[in-house]
Chains A and B, each alone.
Chain A
Amino acid sequence: MANTEVFWKQVISKVRTWSRLNSIWAVHFNSGSCNGCDIEILATLTPRYDVERFGIKLQGSPRHADVLLVSGPVTRQARERLLRTYEQMPEPKFVISVGSCSISGGVFEGCYNVGGSVDEVIPVDVYIPGCPPRPEAVIDGIIQLLTHLQGGSRPTAKRPQIVEEAVA
């Protein structure tokens, strides 16, 4: 009896991973970027690159999204809003940090209103360097996330504290 139950568990988890790999809904947050990366992210929807063939759709609300595409060095005003957007997304959620200045502050390293990189604020799964990365490089980043997920979904590093504590 036991192994049929285990069998069913495997089937369900396989179907679940399959559906997560083939239907990715992304939401885009610009935390102070120069909008170079944002237009390349938007360009991936257009006919020449068309990410809808992978099942990737850009959604408006973080509620409907699985992947958060963050671009830009987190400025101080955008920091709390980035945390709040990340908190609004339902589990399982992943973060892709697009562009050199979201990984390490890039050219704006050391500016007084810039907090530096995104992974100081929220846990990041895939980093895409480039200023801005080509639309194909953004697609390559998403594919890296998919292959990374192929081996079962990574345990999401739960954010212990909620927004108010983190900000205070």
Chain B
Amino acid sequence: MTTLSALFTILIFPAGLMLILIGMLYEWIDRKLVARLQNRIGPRWFQPFADIVKLFAKEQIRPGIANLLLFFGLPVMALSGALTAALYVPLMGFAPAHSFPGDLIVTIYLLSLLTMCIGLAGWNTASRFSLVGATRALTQMFAYEAPFLLALLGPALAAASWQVSEINTYAASHWMILTQPVGFIIALIGLMGKLELPPFDSPEAETEIVAGALTEYSGRGLAIFNLGKSVELIVGLTLIASFYLGGVAGILPFLIKTIVLLLVMAVLQSVLTRLRIDQTVGIWWRFGAILVLAQILVMIIWKGWLS
């Protein structure tokens, strides 16, 4: 991998600029699907692009008591966390830009970096809504983080490796959604919790705490946070598609599988009511964790006997 082609993959083609554009496209697909499910027309295809450009062109109001470095640094850190997580994931069906044994754990950590940045940003701007939003975002992160990780460990155990690309190639031959259905459901719902989509959107519940942790952000900061969220949407979808839906070989299977996942998530979003934060944590720990542990137990027993 000459440095030039490495730079190209990181900055332009599958990971950098292209990822942001595809991320915005996927966010549009999500908003359009939810709108269509609610019997309305929904936004046009360039809507997220127009939103981001408009936000960049807006004045950014900085609250007086917010610490400057944190206020401007956190959005950038959040976006870069999401972008680096994309390096280890087979985006658009191509081989990941960089992969080493154990990069699954790094990817998941980098994905949760974004939620931590949002929590810190909410605490830093110290408006009452963002304080409540920040505490809720972090509490919810503890709830879904462990089951989400365990749900992705299932296929890793089956493929006997912690390297995303290897699991991807292993998954090409066995459709793990059939062998580990519980793991697939927990992973999908965990991704919805991570992206704070309804029913897990109490950290940014519009009717209770206005816009949650991002209430005080406007202009560039808000734009970069939204970009981080849409990139995280893509990375999460690719992870689940490559693990459970039989690997991601080329562009076409990648697109089909991720959009099918997005459709399932859109239906779930529009059919379920928002859960209070204590109910979310309750459900995750009572049902989420136990089910996925049982799944892992089944995997260990099955792996132990057969091989």
When A and B assemble into the complex, do they touch directly, with CB atoms less than 8 Å apart?
yes
Chain A interfacial positions (CB closer than 8 Å to B): 15-16, 18-20, 22-23, 25, 46-47, 50, 52-53, 55, 59-61, 63-64, 66, 88, 90-92
Interface residues of B in 185-229 (CB under 8 A from A): 206-207, 210-211, 215-219, 222
Given A47-B40, A52-B35, A63-B61, the answer on whether A22 and B47 have CB atoms closer than 8 Å is yes
Does B3 sit at the interface, judged by CB under 8 A? no
State the CA gap A91–B59 with chains docked (Å).
Answer: 6
State the CA gap A16–B60 with chains docked (Å).
Answer: 16
| Cβ contact of B54, chosen from A61, A66, A88, cutoff 8 A | A66
- Please name all residues of chain B whose beta carbon is closer than 8 Å to the beta carbon of A60 when the two chains form the complex: 206-207, 210-211, 215
- Please name all residues of chain A whose beta carbon is closer than 8 Å to the beta carbon of B218 when the two chains form the complex: 63-64, 90
Given A23-B47, A53-B43, A90-B60, the answer on whether A63 and B217 have CB atoms closer than 8 Å is yes
- Asked whether, in the complex, the Cβ of B219 is within 8 Å of the Cβ of A90, the reply is yes
State the CA gap A50–B44 with chains docked (Å).
Answer: 12
State the CA gap A22–B44 with chains docked (Å).
Answer: 9
Does B178 sit at the interface, judged by CB under 8 A? no
Interface residues of B in 42-80 (CB under 8 A from A): 42-44, 46-47, 50-51, 53-54, 57-61
Q: How far in angstroms is the closest Cβ of chain A from B266?
A: 15
- Please name all residues of chain A whose beta carbon is closer than 8 Å to the beta carbon of B35 when the two chains form the complex: 50, 52
State the CA gap A25–B51 with chains docked (Å).
Answer: 9
Chain B interfacial positions (CB closer than 8 Å to A): 31, 35, 38-44, 46-47, 50-51, 53-54, 57-61, 129, 206-207, 210-211, 215-219, 222
State the CA gap A38–B51 with chains docked (Å).
Answer: 25
Given A55-B43, A61-B210, A64-B222, 16 other A-B residues pairs in contact with their CB atoms under 8 A: A16-B53, A18-B50, A19-B51, A20-B54, A22-B46, A23-B53, A46-B40, A47-B40, A50-B35, A59-B211, A60-B206, A61-B211, A61-B215, A63-B61, A88-B61, A90-B219
State the CA gap A127–B46 with chains docked (Å).
Answer: 29
State the CA gap A66–B219 with chains docked (Å).
Answer: 11
State the CA gap A2–B231 with chains docked (Å).
Answer: 38
State the CA gap A61–B210 with chains docked (Å).
Answer: 6
Q: How far in angstroms is the closest Cβ of chain A from B145?
A: 27
Q: How far in angstroms is the closest Cβ of chain B from A163?
A: 14
Q: How far in angstroms is the closest Cβ of chain A from B219?
A: 6
State the CA gap A47–B38 with chains docked (Å).
Answer: 7
State the CA gap A75–B169 with chains docked (Å).
Answer: 67
- Please name all residues of chain A whose beta carbon is closer than 8 Å to the beta carbon of B47 when the two chains form the complex: 22-23, 55
Q: How far in angstroms is the closest Cβ of chain B from A23?
A: 4
Question: Could you list 26 A-B pairs, sorted by A, with CB under 8 Å?
Answer: A19-B51, A22-B46, A22-B50, A23-B50, A23-B51, A23-B53, A47-B38, A50-B40, A50-B41, A52-B35, A52-B40, A52-B41, A59-B211, A60-B207, A60-B211, A63-B218, A64-B211, A66-B54, A66-B58, A90-B61, A90-B218, A90-B219, A91-B58, A91-B59, A92-B58, A92-B59
